[in-house]
Amino acid sequence: MVALRGRQARAVLAVNLVARQDGDAMKHPEQSGDHGTSTSSQASSSEGTAVPQRQGKGHSERDEAHAPGLSMDGARVGGRSAPSRMAPRATGKPPLPRVLAVANQKGGVGKTTTTVNLGAALAEMGYRVLVVDLDPQGNATTGLGVNARNLDASIYDVLLHDVPIEDCIEPTNLRNLFLVPATIDLAGAEIELVPTFSRELRLKRAVAAVLDDFDFVLIDCPPSLGLLTVNALAAANEVAVPIQCEYYALEGLGQLLSNIERVRANLNPGLSVTTIIMTMFDARTRLGEQVVDEVRRHFGDRVCRSVVPRTVRLSEAPSYGQPIIVFDPTCRGATAYRELAKEVSGGAPQRVG
C-alpha cells in the first residue's frame, strides 16, 4: 500500500514538474547546473540536522539584480540610494538583506508556520527580521500575538492607500522580530489592486523603504497565485517553498514554478527559488521519506536538509500568539526551526545592529 502510494507520489511529481524541472526560475543566478546532489540520507531525521553550507561562488550578478531601492527598470524608488551591500560571501548564501517570499498556492502546507517560526528563530540568532503578513486570513499576525482589531494601519493600507510601511510595523514579543500585520480588509485587495498604477510593484516599493533596517524580510503569501502573491514575488529576491510531506503535496508545484518564471521574466529578473522546506514530516510513515527523497532528487541542495516534523506543539503555538521557540523552546518543532534558521542564514554576520 505504502509502496503504491510512493509510486503514485512520484507520478504526481513527474507530471507536475516535467515542464519546469529545468526551468530558469529554479536556477540560482550563480548556479551552473550541478545541483543534483541528493542529500536524502539526511532526510530521515524528523528533527532536521546541522548542515554543512555550500561554499558559494561569486554573487556579482545577484548583487546587481537585487540592489535595493531599484525598481525593475533601474529607476530608483523610495528616494534612497542603494547602500553598499558587502555580502558575507563565505556562507554561500545570497547577501543580506534577503527578502524571501514564502509561497505555495496549495493551502495548509506550512507557509505561515514556517514564516513565523523561521522568522523567530532568525531573530533569536540576532538577525533583524520583518515578517510581512500578505494573507487576508491574517494567520501570521495572530500567530505573532498581534490583535488585528487594535491596529491603525495594516498591509492593506500600505498597498491600497500609500500608507508608509513603517507606519504599520508592529513589534512582537521577541526582540528583533517585527511584523507588518494583515487584516481581513486585505481580502478585497486582489480586486481593488486591479485598476491601480503599478499594481504588481506596490509591495516592492514599500519594502524598499525599510530594507536597510532589516537582515531578513519574510513574506507570508496567501494560498493563491493572484496579485498579492505576484506582489510578494516581485518584492522578493528569493522564493521559499514549503512542501508538506504528504501524498498530493506536490500537486500544483509546476504551476507555481511557471508563475515564478513569469514574474522573473516580466518584473523581477533576479528572482530565484533558493529554499524548499519539507514540512509536517511524519517519521512513522514511509510516505514522508519517499516524498522528501523525490523532492531532493528533483531539486538537489535547494531542499533544506532540516526537515520540519509534524508535531502538535507547532499547531498549538499560534493560538497562544507565540512562535514555537517561545511557546515550547525545547520541543522538536523548536529544534527543527532553529536548525532551519541556521541553514537558511548560512551563519551570515548580522548586517544591522
User: Does residue 298 bind Mg ion (CB under 5 A)?
Assistant: no
Which residue stretch of 51-59, 77-85, 107-115, 239-247 sits at the interface with Mg ion (rule: CB under 5 A)?
107-115
Cβ neighbours of residue 349 closer than 8 Å, sequence gap 6 or more: 88
> Which residues make up the interface to ligand ATP (CB under 6 A)?
107-113, 135, 137, 139, 223, 279-280, 308, 310-311, 314-315, 318
| ∠ Cα 55 243 262 (to 5°) | 80
Q: CB 334 → ligand ATP: shortest distance, Å?
A: 11
Q: CB 57 → Mg ion: shortest distance, Å?
A: 34
Neighbours of 3 (CB within 10 A): 10
CA distance linking residue 45 with residue 305, whole number of Å: 9
CA distance linking residue 86 with residue 91, whole number of Å: 13
Residue 273 binds which entry of Mg ion, ligand ATP, none, CB below 5-8 Å type-dependent? none
Backbone angles phi, psi at 174, to 5 degrees: -105, 130
The smaller minimum CB distance to ligand ATP, of residues 72 and 187, is found at: 187
Residue 279 binds which entry of Mg ion, ligand ATP, none, CB below 5-8 Å type-dependent? ligand ATP
The smaller minimum CB distance to ligand ATP, of residues 164 and 223, is found at: 223
Parallel/antiparallel/unpaired status of strands 238-244 and 129-133:
unpaired
CA distance linking residue 207 with residue 217, whole number of Å: 8
CA distance linking residue 317 with residue 333, whole number of Å: 10
Q: CB 58 → ligand ATP: shortest distance, Å?
A: 34
Which residue stretch of 10-18, 60-68, 79-87, 112-120 sits at the interface with Mg ion (rule: CB under 5 A)?
112-120
Q: Which of 112, 272, 311, 345 binds Mg ion (CB under 5 A)?
A: 112
CB burial class (10 A; 0-12, 13-18, 19+) of residue 286? middle
The smaller minimum CB distance to ligand ATP, of residues 140 and 203, is found at: 140
Q: Could you tell me how many residues of this chain bind Mg ion (CB under 5 A)? A: 3
The smaller minimum CB distance to ligand ATP, of residues 56 and 318, is found at: 318
The smaller minimum CB distance to ligand ATP, of residues 53 and 285, is found at: 285
The radius of gyration of the chain's CA atoms, rounded to the nearest angstrom, is 19
CA distance linking residue 107 with residue 119, whole number of Å: 20
**What part of residues 122-141 is at the interface with Mg ion (CB under 5 A)?**
139
Residue 107 binds which entry of ligand ATP, Mg ion, none, CB below 5-8 Å type-dependent? ligand ATP
Are 222 and 229 within 8 A, CB to CB?
yes
The smaller minimum CB distance to Mg ion, of residues 259 and 279, is found at: 279
Q: CB 112 → Mg ion: shortest distance, Å?
A: 3
The smaller minimum CB distance to ligand ATP, of residues 118 and 201, is found at: 118
Q: Which three cell numbers stand for residue 6?
A: 510512493
Closest by CA to 39, choosing from 343, 285, 284, is: 343
CA distance linking residue 66 with residue 268, whole number of Å: 9
Q: Which three cell numbers stand for residue 177?
A: 522580530
The smaller minimum CB distance to ligand ATP, of residues 87 and 250, is found at: 250
Q: CB 104 → ligand ATP: shortest distance, Å?
A: 6
Kindly list the residues in this chain that would bind Mg ion in the complex (CB under 5 A).
Answer: 111-112, 139
